[in-house]
Chain A
Amino acid sequence: MRQNESETQVAVRVAGLSKAYGDLRALDGVSFEVPMRRVFAYLGPNGAGKTTTINILCGLLERDGGEVSILGRDVAADPVLVKSRIGVVTENSNLYPELHCRRNLEYTGELYGLSADRRRSRAESLLNDFGLMDKAGAPFGTLSRGMKRRLTIAAALMHEPEILFLDEPTTGLDVPSARSLRDLIRRIVGGGATVFLTTHNLFEAEELADEIVVLIGGRIVERGKVSDIKRRIGGARCLTVSFSQSVSGGDVLGVCPAIRNAELQDGALKFEASDLHDAIAQLVAFCNKENIRMNDIGIREPSLEDAFVSLLAGAGKSDGKDRP
């Protein structure tokens, strides 16, 4: 019983997952857990192994090794049952171009065994929720890219899956479409589903995800909450200071040991502070001594992008060992 209780808190559990395409090790000992009713972002550059992972989790691809449990079941052992409880949106919007939108949704409902009444009402409410009601009778092939994406996600929600897998949902969309899609994803999670999202877009992961796993070259190099990852990796804060007269980065660096990586940008000095208090104290001392005034000062939190860039730079050197 206790086992079952803990299972209900974990949507996906992956341990030591590996997959090779010939000589290429696409996944190499990947382990993670996805908590229920959260957005989980699987973040990585192109070719990291994100789609490979999703394909294995959804039963499209056989794994070479490792354990996979979706809602407490192995998709390789129980494919039909697991598939009936998950929804998958692949990288391409792949509904039937010749069928109109409502028929696409209803047909998907048929494949998942929904009754005729249920199909009709689900299609109706999803078309409504996704702002596609006026396109209900239009062939899927005639929709814009953003609308196609929305309808493909709607189709994956027809049977009210407990977990929704989204493979790079906003890739290739323009800014407003991507934004409205992110709002939609928030609403889906608000409705009680778990969302497993792959993305190479840091902003998106930062915006949406509760938990992030960073995958590079088939190995997990970082994991945790967004704020934790930023603190751990991009520890230094970034400051921008503009002075009343020009200074050179070299001058400042010489007398302010708490300041690193100074560079001049648009007349302002940009640098990283390993310790905010010390850096500012040293900077004020420098200004007083040189009789310079600070006109403006800006402090920027490290972004996930900073963290990501430093991870990517490190991935080449490190042994890629999984950090718990």
Chain B
Amino acid sequence: MIQLARALAISRKDVESYYGKPPLVTWGLLFPAVLILAVYIKDRAGYLDVAPGIIAMTLLFGNTSMAAIVITFEKRSGTFERLLLSPLGMGTIILGKALSAAAYGIATSIVLAVGLKACMGLPMARPDVFIAGLLIGSCVFSLLGLIASVMVKEVFEAMTLMNFFRFPLLFLSGVFVPFAQMPGWLKPVAWLSPLTHAGEMIRFGIFGETAFASPWVPVAASLIMFAAVCVLSGLSFQRYARR
């Protein structure tokens, strides 16, 4: 309980210092909005095919980048050391940092979805699943960003490291190529991508239908991946702290 309060204090401070700043808020909103608008102008109905993927993609890029930038930046300025010197468990630090990044991703995505619904009539069959998808996706992506940030020294190194995985994921996770249309040999790879499952939950939330046998499949897969990145981030932070 005590440690939870401290994690929330870390998150609140990060929102104050970084995530609440206008440039970040507009970036998180404008980037996907402009992409979707571009498709919408060309094809009034076709935008619906890509909207869930673009929301998921923004979540992936936004959350991994922000989480990694914040930590790398604080490591460089020496402020990250303050957390390591404070009476905080490693889990508290990870939770505090991941929560703020995740909150940023979830908040911008919800605002975006509400805007799309109001302006372009985006359907929303299952808002609960939509929000669950945002929630679990942003948590997994934030933790991935945190892991990358303790593995490198500079911001650009973190970006390069993550892009090595992020860009291929765009083509492997049903963002541009729907899962159902993927060649069979690619499907197992797509299965291992957290973006596939977060995207699928978002898609199900919007349309109420899924390419998987059941909407529980991406939920279960996401939860397993979430558990995996929790363990991984714990290990990598532990290793970093004892360097």
B13 in the interface (beta carbon within 8 A): yes
A73-91 interface code vs B (CB 8 A; 1 in, 0 out) = 0000001110110001010
Restricting to A75-120, which residues have a CB under 8 Å from any CB of B? 79-81, 83-84, 88, 90, 92, 94-99, 107-108, 110-113
Q: Is the CB of B242 within 8 A of A111?
A: no
A55-80 interface code vs B (CB 8 A; 1 in, 0 out) = 00011111000000000000000011
Instruction: Give chain B nearest CB distance to A95 CB in angstroms.
Output: 7
Chain A contact residues: helix, strand, loop or mixed: loop
Partner of A80, one of B5, B9, B81, B89: B89
A contact residues around B88 at 8 Å (CB):
80, 83, 111
B57-86 interface code vs A (CB 8 A; 1 in, 0 out) = 000000000000000000001110111111
Q: How large is the interface on A (under 10, 10 to 19, 20 to 34, 35 or more residues)?
A: 20 to 34
A281 vs B86: C-alpha distance when bound (angstroms): 62
Restricting to B2-51, which residues have a CB under 8 Å from any CB of A? 2, 5-6, 9-10, 13, 16-17
Partner of A62, one of B16, B77, B242: B242
Partner of A84, one of B82, B87, B243: B87
Residue of A nearest to B21 (CB): A98
Instruction: Give chain A nearest CB distance to B80 CB in angstroms.
Output: 9
A178-200 interface code vs B (CB 8 A; 1 in, 0 out) = 00000000000000000000000
A110 vs B96: C-alpha distance when bound (angstroms): 13
Instruction: Give chain A nearest CB distance to B183 CB in angstroms.
Output: 49
A90 vs B17: C-alpha distance when bound (angstroms): 22
Q: Is the CB of A81 within 8 A of B77?
A: no
Instruction: Give chain B nearest CB distance to A66 CB in angstroms.
Output: 16
Partner of A110, one of B6, B79, B85, B243: B6
Q: Is the CB of B87 within 8 A of A92?
A: no
Q: Is the CB of B81 within 8 A of A111?
A: no
Q: Assess A110 versus B81: contact at CB under 8 Å? Given A61-B242, A83-B86.
A: no
Q: Is the CB of A111 within 8 A of B86?
A: yes
A188 vs B166: C-alpha distance when bound (angstroms): 51
Q: Is the CB of B77 within 8 A of A111?
A: no
Q: Assess A107 versus B9: contact at CB under 8 Å? Given A80-B89, A81-B87, A112-B86.
A: yes
Q: Assess A99 versus B13: contact at CB under 8 Å? Given A110-B6, A113-B5.
A: yes
A contact residues around B89 at 8 Å (CB):
80
Restricting to B78-120, which residues have a CB under 8 Å from any CB of A? 78-79, 81-89
Q: Is the CB of B5 within 8 A of A107?
A: no
A97 vs B77: C-alpha distance when bound (angstroms): 9
B contact residues around A110 at 8 Å (CB):
5-6, 9
Q: Is the CB of A99 within 8 A of B87?
A: no
Query: Could you list some 24 contacts between A and B, CB below 8 A?
Result: A58-B85, A59-B85, A60-B81, A60-B85, A62-B242, A80-B87, A81-B87, A83-B87, A83-B88, A84-B87, A90-B81, A92-B78, A94-B81, A94-B82, A95-B82, A96-B13, A99-B13, A107-B13, A110-B9, A111-B88, A112-B86, A112-B87, A113-B2, A113-B6
Instruction: Using A90-B81, A96-B13, A107-B9 as known contacts, list a sample of 19 further A-B pairs with CB atoms less than 8 Å apart, ordered by residue number in A.
Output: A58-B85, A60-B81, A60-B84, A80-B89, A81-B87, A83-B85, A83-B86, A94-B81, A94-B82, A95-B82, A96-B17, A97-B77, A99-B13, A99-B16, A107-B13, A110-B5, A111-B83, A113-B5, A113-B87
